[in-house]
Structure formats: C-alpha cells, structure tokens
Structure 1
Amino acid sequence: MTGVPDIDAFEERAAILEFEGGLSRREAEDRAAQAQGFRDADHFRQVLADYLLTGRLPH
C-alpha cells in the first residue's frame, strides 16, 4: 500500500530529474512517483484523484 501522494515532493523531484538529470518529463515524473512507492506517474495521479474525491487510499 502506498501513502498519501505528496504533490509538492512529486513536482519538485520531477523538475530536478528533468532539468538536472536530463530525463524526459515523462520519465522524470515516473521516477518521482516511484520514489513515493507508486508504479508510475499515472498511478500517482489516479491515487491522488481518488484520495481527493473519497478521502480514502486504496487497499
């Protein structure tokens, strides 16, 4: 189970990976999401959206 998605940490990490690490935006976002325990950026965004709508995390 993953924790509550931290959007600020996600955005900061992705920006660093993109601009300083030379990764594409997509790869940087995937890695930033993985650093928080999500499969990829799409999974991060889905869990975040679900959490904002329901106040619950997936089991």
Structure 2
Amino acid sequence: MRPIPDIEAFEERAAVMEHDGGLSRSRAEDRAAQAQGFRDAAEYWQVLADYVVTKRLGGQADG
C-alpha cells in the first residue's frame, strides 16, 4: 500500500533541510519524500497529483 502524501510535512521538512541543512531544493525534496516512504520527490508529486485527480491512492477513479 502506498503512503498517503502529507504536503504540509513535506514542505516543512524540505524547507528546513534546504535552509538549515544547506541542501539544494531538489535534494531536500527528495529527502522529505523519502521520509514519508516515497522513492524520491518525483514519485511523491506523482502520487499526490494522482490522488488529487482520482481521490484515491493508486491513480484509479471510482466508478
């Protein structure tokens, strides 16, 4: 089962790692996504986008 994306936690963690940790935004987003159980930021954003469109994890609409 895929983890549920938590955008508030993702954004906060990425910002802290970028600002306090000195990581690039891209690397900070990868790390924030990994902290939620995703492979990288690209997978995180894809799952989130699919969820917004279909209202389900896994990318399939009801119906």
Highest RCO, 1 vs 2 (Cα 8 Å, sep ≥ 6): 1
Instruction: Report if TM-score (shorter chain) is over 0.5.
Output: yes
Bigger share in helix: 1
CA contact (8 A) 2:31 2:40 kept: yes
CA contact (8 A) 1:14 1:32 kept: yes
Q: Percent identical across equivalent pairs?
A: 68
Number of the residue aligned with 2:43: 43
The one-character-per-residue Cα deviations of 1:8-57 (angstroms, maximum 9, x if unpaired) are 00000000000000100000000000000011111100000000111111
Runs ≥4 residues deviating over 4 A: none
Number of the residue aligned with 1:55: 55
Number of the residue aligned with 2:15: 15
CA contact (8 A) 2:3 2:38 kept: no
Number of the residue aligned with 1:26: 26
Tell which structure's C-alpha radius of gyration is larger: 2
Structure 1: runs of 5+ lacking an equivalent: none
Q: Distance in 2 between matches of 1:36 and 1:58?
A: 16
Per the TM alignment, residue 58 of structure 1 is displaced from its structure 2 partner at its CA by 1.9
Please report the TM-score for the alignment, with normalisation by the length of structure 2: 0.87
